[in-house]
Amino acid sequence: MTELPGQAASCWIADAPATHYPTYAQSDRTDVAVVGAGIVGLTAAYLLSKDGLAVTVLEGSRVARGVTARSTAKITFQHTLIYARLARTVGMEKARLYAHANRTGVATLLDLATMLSIDCDLERRSAYVYALRDERRPTLEREADLARRFGIEARVLDAAPLPFATSAALEFTQQAQFNPAKYLVGLAAAVRANGGRVFENTRATDIKHGRSAWRCEIGPHRLEATSVISATNLPIGSPIDFDELTRPRCHIAMAFRAPPGAIDGMFISADAPSHSLRMGRDAQGPLLIVLGPKFPTGHEGDVARRFRELVQWVRQNVPAAGEVAWRWVNEDYDAPGDVPFAGELARKAAGFYVATGFGGWGISNGTASAMLIADQIRGIDNPWSSLYAPERRARKINKGGDSRSLVKSIDRIAPGEGAVLESGKQKIAIWKSPGGKAHALDAACTHMGCTVTWNNADRTWDCPCHGSMFTPDGDVIHGPATKPLKSASLPRSRK
């Protein structure tokens, strides 16, 4: 594989302050246990701690290093053409509720950033859906009409303010963008200021209900709680199989050096293959952030190819883009009907709360979900309960997948790369260090046993069934897996 340009990390994470919260090291009890320090977990933790509840946040790695901090970080309730789609699939009332939830989520995030004085590069910008074909204009007009019915200021333009030709654009004004990693760092500090506790490098491996409380298992220790919020990318410990009701998908992102104002606004295409653009910045200056089309997690044999294709697309369409500074892969989960699952599992597991299936729009949906969960824990009626209802009847949309990294010989694996080799009845995940030394792991994902795929761009092992990701050495990056890949012996090389 040709070495990719840019640093393999999110520009948001690189520009955010480091955090140094302790690791959980003694069994204890709390009112609310929050598993996951992303936008759902920390927003809910802040709202509940502000109300006087004892809140404990458990983060498997570090604050602001996960999915939220690797997003495009658009603070918007313009989710491509979501309102026409929802009106068609779940009805006008649910579409109206979705608009209300996400508008409120956006407003709340902006209020929190301002009230808590979080330095997160917050900027007001318009959000645009742009079309490349004339026949798409009526689609944008229908979306604008629905948005206006839901109280959203929307208009259709003859073209998007972009450096390449477009046939029309739908504009939502007064949206915003920010650095999500800086925002999460600020939220975590606010939770601590309210008396809440935050623990890092603290991975909950299971959540169970004991005799009188929920119990988070953390190595040899446990945390008991009256309520527990499973705010990981895909919930752990849930009695509902959200891994079957949601589909894991990835997208690639790249940050290019660019002059200030290279583009003005946040953009996403209505046409496939989809591209998303916005400006951002790191310590060295302004950046053009561009996303490529989504693809199923673990179903790509050559993720690096997508980065090369995205560089080519940017060079053809945005002349102001300079060298590649950053590149990364992010993951989210799609839900049936494009509506996330969030709230209490009141029938199956009272006191257990989840949030998942944001479909790439977790900034506004995640904030709204956290508000809903906080209300439910405090016994406050929330109008979005029926919209996000996690126990609603939903069709299974995850059909799994197979590894795309199979090779017949260790000799076929280049230094710095990985692949899966069949050895008798076992499949071995083999990674070679840059110096060429081979390391072997059991290729079975520790969640449900699916064979992992090597991601040759991020250099991770990705599960094609349920989206778990692991480091080359097998440590969990994020779940639903909570345990590392098992070690294995190197098989003999076969020609």
Q: Is 347 exposed, middle or buried (0-12, 13-18, 19+ CB in 10 A)?
A: exposed
pLDDT above 50 (res 188): yes
**Tokens standing for residue 388:** 């996000």
pLDDT above 70 (res 494): no
pLDDT above 70 (res 480): yes
Mean pLDDT estimate for the chain:
95
pLDDT above 50 (res 452): yes
Taking the CA atoms of 45, 47, 48 and 51 in sequence, report the sign of the dihedral they define.
Answer: positive
DSSP string computed for 279-315: EEEETTEEEEEEE---EETT--S-HHHHHHHHHHHHH
- How many residues does this entry show for the chain? 495
Integer Cα distance of 52 and 40 in angstroms:
19
Topology of the domain covering 406-478:
Rieske Iron-sulfur Protein (2.102.10)
Q: How far is CA 61 from CA 202, 294, 461, 479, in A?
A: 7, 25, 17, 12
Parse the chain into domains and list their residue ranges.
406-478
Model confidence band, residue 166 (pLDDT cutoffs 50, 70, 90): very high
Give the phi and the psi of residue 128 in degrees, each rounded to 5: -125, 140
pLDDT above 90 (res 431): yes
SS3 157: strand
- Tell me the pLDDT tens digit for each residue of 17-38: 999 999 999 999 999 999 999 9
pLDDT above 90 (res 423): no
Alpha carbon 55 to its chain's center: 23
Beta carbons within 10 angstroms of residue 105's beta carbon: 27
Query: Which residue carries 């294995």 as its tokens?
Result: 488
Model confidence band, residue 495 (pLDDT cutoffs 50, 70, 90): very low
- B/e letters for 450-459, b = 16+ CB within 10 Å, e = fewer, are bbbbbbbbbb
- Tell me the pLDDT tens digit for each residue of 248-284: 999 999 999 999 999 999 999 999 899 999 999 999 9
For residue 1, the model assigns a pLDDT of 46
Beta carbons within 10 angstroms of residue 90's beta carbon: 17
| Paired residues of 216 in beta bridges | 207, 223
Note whether 310 and 290 are within 8 A (CB). yes
- Tell me the pLDDT tens digit for each residue of 301-355: 899 999 999 999 999 999 999 999 999 999 999 999 999 999 999 999 999 999 9
Beta carbons within 10 angstroms of residue 222's beta carbon: 20
Q: Is 26 exposed, middle or buried (0-12, 13-18, 19+ CB in 10 A)?
A: exposed
Q: Is 86 exposed, middle or buried (0-12, 13-18, 19+ CB in 10 A)?
A: buried
**Tokens standing for residue 163:** 């450096």
Alpha carbon 276 to its chain's center: 15
Q: How far is CA 376 from CA 48, 344, 450, in A?
A: 11, 7, 36
pLDDT above 90 (res 491): no
**Terminus-to-terminus CA distance in the chain, angstroms?**
21
Give the phi and the psi of residue 9 in degrees, each rounded to 5: -160, 160
Integer Cα distance of 333 and 335 in angstroms:
7
| Paired residues of 344 in beta bridges | 353
**Tokens standing for residue 481:** 């897996």
For residue 400, the model assigns a pLDDT of 84
Integer Cα distance of 489 and 495 in angstroms:
18
DSSP string computed for 15-62: TSPP--PPPP-S-EEEEEEEE--SHHHHHHHHHHHHTT--EEEE-SS-
Model confidence band, residue 493 (pLDDT cutoffs 50, 70, 90): low
Shortest CA distance to 329 belongs to which of 8, 3, 7? 8
For 202, what's the count of Cα atoms within 13 Å in the CB-facing half-sphere? 28
Model confidence band, residue 40 (pLDDT cutoffs 50, 70, 90): very high
Note whether 288 and 11 are within 8 A (CB). no
- Tell me the pLDDT tens digit for each residue of 388-399: 999 999 999 888
Range with lowest mean pLDDT among 208-212, 285-289, 391-395:
208-212
Average pLDDT for residues 56-62, to the nearest whole number? Answer: 97
What is the DSSP-derived secondary structure letter of residue 338? Answer: G
